[in-house]
Amino acid sequence: MSLSRKVLIVGSYNQDLSWKTSNFPYPGQTVLGTFHMNPGGKGSNQAVAAVRAGAHATFVGAVGKDPFGAAAHTFLKNEGLTIHLVEKTEAATGTAAIMVNSAGQNEIIVALGSNLLLTSEDVPDALLNEASIIICPLEAQLTTVEGIFKRAKQAGARTLLNPAPMPKHLPPEILKHTDIIVPNEGEFAQLISQIEPGFDTASILADLSTLPHQAIHQACRILKIDHVIITLGEKGVFVSSPTEYFYLPAIPVKVIDTTGAGDAFIGGLTTSLIENPNDMYKAVCFANCTAALAVTKPGAAPSFPLRPEIDALLKKHLKDKLV
């Protein structure tokens, strides 16, 4: 088992092009809004969230030979990450078109570009061997993720899969090599229906306040993954492990922009797990606070909190017994 205290994130970097508008346009409609450009991509966001939360984090990704790729280098270095960015000349750096409405909800289209050219071989053995947790979101080829997770397990690291965006068919080999999976409720429902078609996940998740949590726990166990952590947005988070399950409500905050909230959660979660590998409850509380702070500011990575802010919120809510 690896004794390292580093987290390695292998995944996407995208240039986020974001428009804030009152209401999402319906097909054929033109609406007015304001525009911002930010660094993004689920992998890069998760790496930034982890390093800001206090982890020693390394990011491996692929960018194009273009201004967005050059900006990625500068941004990630300035954040204090160890980076291994592979330049791919055959494709442009990934981009994301993001719309955010007045409720802070978002709709996103991603052109993955160079992210799709990243291979497992692009990840040096040395980086895999020095990590105790390896995170992969799915803005990459599935064969790349499968290769990395197999190597991660051989190296004795824990693997965390963020199945976003959820593909039509997630290879069982990836799930077999996953220790912790963090889907949102839609991704969880898709996952279960791929493994057990006909299983009514939607109604299980529909009303957390009335349904016994045992039913959700049983649905999680279908995945045969040690830790299943379903992020439920403003409804909170449900956690199922082999010997326990628990639910935490979201921390009430004024929501400005939910873009990257799931990424902030994962960065916070892994930072805490690096510090206390066996304390999943503490890690989820810490992650809940990280995500709550992230949604109070615009953008994805730029909204992620620093460690003292997370610790202060955690302390306050532990005192109020809200987490």
* Residues 6+ positions from 56 with CB-CB distance below 8 Å: 5, 6, 7, 82, 274
Give the CB-nearest residue to ligand RIB: 40
What part of residues 77-136 is at the interface with ligand RIB (CB under 6 A)?
A: 96, 108, 110
What's the CA gap between 84 and 4, in Å, rounded? 18
Q: How far is the CB of 256 from ligand RIB (least distance, A)?
A: 15
One of 14, 58, 201, 288 touching ligand RIB (CB under 6 A): 14
What's the CA gap between 273 and 288, in Å, rounded? 13
- Stretch of residues binding ligand RIB (CB under 6 A), selected from 151-159, 176-184, 260-268, 310-318: 260-268
Q: Are 170 and 163 contacting, i.e. CB atoms less than 8 angstroms apart?
A: yes
Q: How far is the CB of 2 from ligand RIB (least distance, A)?
A: 27
What part of residues 215-244 is at the interface with ligand RIB (CB under 6 A)?
A: none
Choosing from 263, 279, 311, 320, which is the catalytic residue? 263
* Beta strands 227-231; 237-241: pairing state: antiparallel
Pick the closer one to ligand RIB by CB: 2 or 105.
105
Contact flag: residue 183 with ligand RIB (CB under 6 A) = no
Pick the closer one to ligand RIB by CB: 37 or 306.
37
Residue 227: closest CA among 106, 133, 298, 91: 133
Q: Which residue has the tokens 């709709």?
A: 107
Q: Are 197 and 171 contacting, i.e. CB atoms less than 8 angstroms apart?
A: no
One of 61, 113, 183, 260 touching ligand RIB (CB under 6 A): 260
* Residues 6+ positions from 307 with CB-CB distance below 8 Å: 52, 53, 54
One of 101, 263, 287, 292 touching ligand RIB (CB under 6 A): 263
Pick the closer one to ligand RIB by CB: 79 or 139.
139
Q: List Cα–Cα distances, 225 to 158, 257, 275, in angstroms.
A: 12, 31, 22
Pick the closer one to ligand RIB by CB: 111 or 208.
111
Phi-psi domain of 311 (left: phi exceeds 0; alpha: psi -120 through 50; beta: other)? alpha
By rule CB under 6 A, what string of x and - marks binding of each residue 279-308 to ligand RIB? Answer: ---------------------x--------
Contact flag: residue 64 with ligand RIB (CB under 6 A) = no
In the residue annotation, 263 being an active-site residue is answered as yes
What's the CA gap between 174 and 244, in Å, rounded? 24
* Beta strands 180-181; 106-111: pairing state: unpaired
| Peptide linkage before 165 cis (omega within 30 of 0) | yes
Pick the closer one to ligand RIB by CB: 113 or 217.
113
- Stretch of residues binding ligand RIB (CB under 6 A), selected from 12-20, 81-89, 248-256, 302-310: 12-20
Q: List Cα–Cα distances, 64 to 91, 103, 301, in angstroms.
A: 6, 34, 20
Pick the closer one to ligand RIB by CB: 12 or 178.
12
One of 58, 93, 159, 259 touching ligand RIB (CB under 6 A): 259
Q: Which residue has the tokens 């201004």?
A: 67
Contact flag: residue 41 with ligand RIB (CB under 6 A) = yes
* Catalytic annotation, residues: 263
Q: Give the residues lining the site for ligand RIB (CB under 6 A).
A: 12, 14, 16, 40-42, 45, 96, 108, 110, 139, 259-260, 262-263, 300
